[in-house]
Chains A and B, each alone.
Chain A
């Protein structure tokens, strides 16, 4: 069966450090992968899309990698700030819909 697995443990890091989140998938052959941010009580907000032929994508302090051989995407938040505290979701296309991982909650301590 298809699975999307993200770090099950919440991530607590010191301000200024880099947070690295993992998204592993099985029984998918995605043409792309998306990352979203979700704050408590709010809907997810789209952050980045990376295509299967792209190894790496950057947006400001965010960096995403996509390894189709390992079936894994890594999401990095560099120079983290308390405002980066949120839950981060990865999502893969599945026919005409997106399937989501359960998310990883990141808390950045000042």
Chain B
């Protein structure tokens, strides 16, 4: 079955620690995205990548970093500089960038709690 795998499903960290969230896809999609979801708010874009070795900041990139060394993988690091890291993080992929009508395929998210 093709899809997007995010791991782990739940993650707990102490304040001041960096943490990396995994996202792997076997859909052969070029574009990948990271969104953050908070209660009562729409999904907010953190970073996106349309091709290997290239990525762009989204609307709320501060305190986050990404890499795209392989087509299948787009890990997100939440750094200690992120002021409010506790949230539900969603990874997605699409055939090409969203302006070409492609729907997004989402993983089932990682819920990060920082105390």
Partner pick for A99 among B45, B101, B106, CB 8 A cutoff: B45
CA distance A7 to B101 in the complex (A): 24
Choose among B6, B50, B98, B101 the residue with the greatest number of A CB atoms under 10 Å from its CB. Answer: B98
Which residues does chain B contribute within 8 Å of A99, judged by CB atoms?
42, 45
B41 within 8 A of A: yes
Q: Please give the number of chain B residues whose Cβ is less than 8 angstroms from any Cβ of chain A in the complex.
A: 28
With a cutoff of 8 Å between Cβ atoms, the chain A residues found around residue B104 in the complex are 36, 44, 46, 91, 98
Least CB distance from B87 to A in Å reads 13
CB of B2 closer than 8 Å to a CB of A: no
Tell me which residues across on chain A come within 8 A of B41, comparing CB atoms. 102
- Residues of A within 8 Å of B, CB-based: how many? 26
Give B9-57 interface residues, CB cut-off 8 Å to A. Answer: 31, 33, 35, 40-43, 45, 48, 50, 56
Q: Are B42 and A98 in contact (CB under 8 A)?
A: no
